[in-house]
Amino acid sequence: MRQLFAYLKGVHAMKPKAGQKRVLMLNSGGFDSAVLYHKLVSDGYMVYSLFFDFGQNNVVEEHDTVVRMCGGENLRILKLPSFDWSGSSITSGGECTEDLDKIYVEMRNLIFLSYAVSIAEAQAIRSVYYAVSKSPGMYKDTSDEFVKHFNDISRMCDVEVFTPFADTEKKDLIHLAKEYGIGYNDFFSCYYPTEAGRPCGECLDCVFLEELYANKE
Ligand SMILES: [Zn+2]
């Protein structure tokens, strides 16, 4: 088997224990991803993380967070061409906005999951996870319908995509986050980081997560 996850300098792919199931997840380093990663590890899976550099404003902060989260092990980083056709505020230095239409990156998850399923098939991994949580402003490529149709294709190669938090709101994920000991500095969900690489403190994600953590301390 080719060692797709062993390309980082000084990092080796960990081997699963006998009988341990391997799963692949899209890992952005954000809050939902952090909860999902720890849940999968806690459930006993050997977790492989896939991180995408697609020209997002916070790529450095997200990348460093993901490396810290999984200790650099079983991590694959893919650099994509920048999404320069998109006017999304989360790429190309866009400005903080509350307008979900301006945040949306056109069918980003279709592209991410296509890579994930191809890698999963190549590595004989049967389950791909991504951490979409329930929110009022769901994007087309995070909807149940999208996942259902995507799975119609991915099952052709015996790979299934799972979104275990699709019916769970972020405010309920905080309980799991606490259970797994995930602190406010253990994820990076802000797309508009400061020059010092800190969350901006003003965007929707920052305000919501700061409140969530403040109420649960
Ligand atoms: Zn922010």
CATH code given to domain 22-216: 3.40.50.620
Distance, CA of 86 to CA of 117 (rounded, Å): 24
Ligand 1 centroid to residue 193 C-alpha, Å: 6
pTM of the model as a whole: 0.92
Ligand 1 centroid to residue 192 C-alpha, Å: 5
Ligand 1 centroid to residue 207 C-alpha, Å: 7
Name the residues around ion ligand 1, CB cutoff 5 A: 190, 199-200, 203, 206
What is the distance of C-alpha 207 from the center of its chain?
A: 20
Ligand 1 centroid to residue 27 C-alpha, Å: 19
Determine the residue type at 167: D
User: Per residue in 149-198, pLDDT tens?
Assistant: 999 999 999 999 999 999 999 889 999 999 999 999 999 999 999 999 99
Domain boundaries, the chain: 22-216
User: Per residue in 121-142, pLDDT tens?
Assistant: 999 999 999 999 887 777 899 9
